[in-house]
């Protein structure tokens, strides 16, 4: 049990932060709507994170790989907590947007930094279970956060909900403070990050990609299938309300039940992590997730849509846990921050493009037809992914004991 002491502390800290984020998201949407009365102003919130990623992710990884990971995560959470704390006291929409942009710029460091820290903290043989538990905590926060936000907003208003998220960032920073330093001594930036440093770092990432062609092939196939799914997420409300002709209460119920499916999937993934091979988590998990999207957009009533979404949520937990473990085991830890930051930036650009293409196509053609085509393409990528991960000669890339392949 002692070997899980520190991972549990990290899970607890990040879990509390996840819960606060969901409470904050619901409250912030309502707060902006009350302040402006504009749906477009609320929609603007969802463009801030991709903008922050484009601003930071070309150079954030270079800092992450050179700074102390534990200290950086603590500072990021403290900065985010302070910025979130001032939001309820601002009444100008553009100042609010600016503060949220700063919050997201700071947050762009946390994900890649946490991935490196987890890789160093958690032994290879325990990473799949850890990532399954992380998925379970995320699903639990997705279920509880909006429910708690609804109760708090009803009785005390949106301001307290936003302040609660600030507090959860401070709590997460405290939990991370209790964790050990996993970086080698002296692993600090000794010179400012200059343009030539960034160019050199990009060359290192390019060299790794050329050398690790099999890893890149699995990575690209997984991301292709997953990003198509994320684009399809943008149409789920329209499909449920306009095509299935369901109301807001039905939509809320479908989302809640889907959360239960994801929580169940993550729980099962954690329980059987020692018995089921990593390649099945990635290959079968992603294939059945893509099939779930196809079933959802082929549905014709509340029951079929709900069953499809539960199916999707259940197996997405396996796919996410498998991918995170595969990434941590195969990307060299000394360049993981740089690779992760650049990868997130590229994914964000592709996701925005796919979402725009899907939205425009849905305006021209039948929404269901376009979504089924996108889902079918996602299934096709997932089939190629499954075939790729099952290649017997590439078994070393899915080893979970010791050091996995990095070339």
Q: For residue 159, give both structure tokens.
A: 């301001």
d(CA 269, CA 253): 24
In this predicted structure, which of 15-19, 369-373, 400-404 has the lowest mean pLDDT?
Answer: 400-404
Segments making up each domain of the chain, as ranges: 1-180, 194-392
Sign for the pseudo-dihedral over CA of 234, 236, 241, 243? positive
Confidence of residue 281 (pLDDT cuts 50, 70, 90): very high
For residue 162, count CB atoms less than 10 angstroms from its CB and return exposed for 0-12, middle for 13-18, buried for 19 or more: buried
Fold of 1-180: Growth Hormone; Chain: A; (1.20.1250)
In this predicted structure, which of 48-57, 145-154, 168-177, 178-187 has the lowest mean pLDDT?
Answer: 178-187
* Between 250 and 13, the higher pLDDT residue: 13
The C-alpha R_g of the chain, in whole angstroms, comes to: 21
Sign for the pseudo-dihedral over CA of 194, 330, 2, 13? positive
d(CA 224, CA 227): 5
Mean pLDDT, residues 65-72 taken together: 86
Give the model confidence (pLDDT) of 212-255 as tens digits.
899 999 999 999 999 998 888 777 777 887 788 887 677 767 87
d(CA 320, CA 370): 25
Res 402: pLDDT: 53
Q: For residue 232, give both structure tokens.
A: 């399809």
In 3D space, the residue among 211, 179, 181, 240 whose CA is nearest the CA of residue 330 turns out to be 211
Class for the domain spanning 194-392 = mainly alpha
Give the model confidence (pLDDT) of 29-51 as tens digits.
778 878 887 766 776 776 787 78
Highest mean pLDDT among 95-104, 188-197, 248-257: 95-104
Give the model confidence (pLDDT) of 369-381 as tens digits.
999 999 999 999 9
Confidence of residue 63 (pLDDT cuts 50, 70, 90): confident
Q: For residue 377, give both structure tokens.
A: 């393409």
Give the model confidence (pLDDT) of 287-339 as tens digits.
999 999 999 999 989 999 999 989 998 998 899 889 988 988 888 888 888 88
Please determine whether the domains at 1-180 and 194-392 fall in the same fold group of CATH: yes
Decide if pLDDT at 1 tops 60: no
Give the HSE-up count for residue 71: Cα atoms under 13 Å, Cβ half-sphere: 12
In 3D space, the residue among 54, 176, 175 whose CA is nearest the CA of residue 113 turns out to be 176
């Amino acid at each position: 049990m002692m070997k899980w002491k520190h991972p549990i502390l990290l899970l607890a800290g990040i879990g509390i932060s996840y819960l606060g984020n969901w409470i904050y998201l619901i409250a912030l949407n309502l707060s902006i709507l009350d302040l402006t009365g504009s749906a477009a102003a609320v929609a603007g919130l969802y463009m801030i994170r991709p903008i922050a990623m484009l601003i930071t992710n070309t150079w954030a990884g270079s800092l992450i790989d050179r700074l102390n990971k534990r200290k950086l995560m603590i500072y990021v959470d403290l900065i985010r907590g302070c910025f979130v704390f001032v939001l309820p006291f601002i009444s100008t929409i553009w100042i609010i947007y600016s503060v949220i942009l700063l919050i997201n710029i700071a947050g762009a460091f946390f994900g890649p930094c946490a991935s490196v820290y987890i890789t160093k903290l958690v032994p290879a043989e325990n990473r799949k279970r850890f990532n399954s538990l992380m998925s379970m905590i995320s699903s639990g926060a997705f279920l509880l956060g909006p429910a708690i936000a609804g109760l708090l907003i009803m009785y005390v208003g949106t301001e307290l909900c936003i302040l609660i998220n600030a507090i959860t960032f401070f709590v997460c920073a405290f939990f991370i403070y209790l964790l050990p330093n996993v970086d080698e001594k002296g692993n600090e930036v000794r010179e400012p990050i200059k343009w030539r440093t960034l160019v050199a770092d990009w060359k290192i990432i390019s060299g790794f990609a050329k050398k690790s062609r099999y890893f890149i092939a699995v990575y690209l196939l997984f991301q292709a299938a997953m990003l198509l799914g994320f684009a399809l997420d943008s149409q789920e409300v329209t499909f449920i309300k306009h095509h299935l002709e369901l109301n807001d209460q039905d939509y809320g119920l479908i989302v809640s039940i889907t959360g239960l499916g994801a929580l169940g999937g993550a729980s099962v993934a954690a329980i059987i992590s020692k018995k089921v091979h990593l390649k099945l988590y990635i290959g079968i998990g992603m294939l059945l997730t893509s099939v779930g999207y196809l079933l959802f957009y082929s549905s014709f009533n509340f029951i079929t849509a709900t069953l499809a979404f539960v199916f999707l949520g259940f197996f997405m937990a396996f796919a996410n846990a498998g991918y995170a473990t595969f990434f941590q085991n195969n990307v060299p830890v000394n360049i993981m921050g740089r690779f992760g930051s650049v990868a997130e930036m590229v994914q964000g650009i592709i996701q925005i493009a796919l979402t725009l293409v899907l939205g425009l196509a849905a305006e021209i053609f039948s929404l269901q037809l376009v979504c089924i085509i996108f889902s079918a393409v996602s299934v096709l990528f997932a089939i190629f992914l499954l075939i790729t991960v099952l290649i017997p000669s590439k078994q070393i890339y899915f080893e979970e004991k010791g050091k996995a392949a990095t070339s």
